[in-house]
Structure 1
């Protein structure tokens, strides 16, 4: 995750939010679950597998990749080689 953003659970809103100097982004459940797993160690495949197991569904890799592409465009996450 980009160090300019802080992910935290917001009890009042019952969701994850991304905090940054200019404001806050409220994340839906799927986005929050993915961002919560962006720790610099998990790959997109790891994240998809963890969420598939957690929610007992299959085929999430495409959705995870789509979200991460969007998150990179917004600078929420940074891809490190």
Structure 2
């Protein structure tokens, strides 16, 4: 397989996953500097819930980590349209 730099994209900054069979959630994320350098990552098992709650918890955990590190200005991205809509309407 041939990969070029033109097709490479940064990975999602935070993500949640949900296994419906086990009803278990997992959240993970990364924080990158303005120049895309990796600063830190996290991963947590969160117990029962659903896919939307997993996305919310991933965002919350990422924001808590950023706040703990003292960052005042951030750009937060999500691929979960329902979460973006919810945040925009709150």
Per the normalisation by structure 1, the TM-score is: 0.32
Structure 1 or 2: more helix by fraction: 1
Larger radius of gyration: 2
Per the normalisation by structure 2, the TM-score is: 0.30
Structure 1 or 2: more strand by fraction: 2
